[in-house]
Amino acid sequence: MSYRAIYKDIGLKDYKETWDYQADIFAKLVDSKKQQISGDEAVRSTIPGTLIFVQHPHVYTLGKSGSENNLLLNSIQLRAKDAAFYKIDRGGDITYHGPGQLVGYPIFDLEAIKIGLKEYIFRLEEAIIKTVQEYGIQASRFEGSTGVWLDPQIPGRSRKICAIGVKASKFVTMHGFAFNVNTNLTYFNNINPCGFTDKGVTSLQKELGALQDFDSVKLCVKKNLQKVFDLNWIEE
């Protein structure tokens, strides 16, 4: 059975503002499950999932298992680069978000989809792998790390094109993926991305040697997410 979901493209939005926005949707979905447990099945059945697409102004985020030592800037240097920094409640280490990067926040009920968290992350990766394949790029997973990689087993060439970090409670997800499309990759020089010191980052633009049509990439990712999760888009 298809999973009902609302699609929201909110453009360029402040990280903290978006975090609060998705946290509110997340809380409502979790609360609906609690009501279902208490016997109110009708409440839960009316709450669909939500997929948010967004770009953020320059910001570094550190997951709950990460180390601040992987941020190579002090507060003064952050301000000079017009970048913010937040410690957040997802898994994973440190990453960068900025203009030209497609960030996706699926707020899904995994019990309704009938999958676990490991399979959920696998399907997020699969949607991005399918997307870059449509642009003529072969990508894959890297054992022991989440995300989507190019040449993951080749020393000196391994590079990440999409980072993934999620949170789940009552099998409801939030946070998600960050796919480098036309991202300014120099901002990654200020961190050890995802805690790695020996691996690089890349973007669709860098791999293809030209600026990409961001809206076309968004549509491609949306289509592939719909396929891998069997989503049924509904109006809010």
β-bridge partners, 159: 150, 200
CATH superfamily placement of domain 3-233 = Bira Bifunctional Protein; Domain 2 (3.30.930.10)
pTM of the model as a whole: 0.90
Indicate if 220 belongs to the active site. no
- Per-domain residue ranges for the chain? 3-233
Q: Of the listed 194, 217, 220, 225, which one is catalytic?
A: 194
Average pLDDT value over all residues in the chain:
89
- The pLDDT > 70 percentage for the chain reads 92
Distance in angstroms (rounded) separating the CA atoms of residues 52 and 21: 10
Residue 38 in this model has a pLDDT that exceeds 60:
no
Reading the block at residue 9, the tokens are: 């493209």
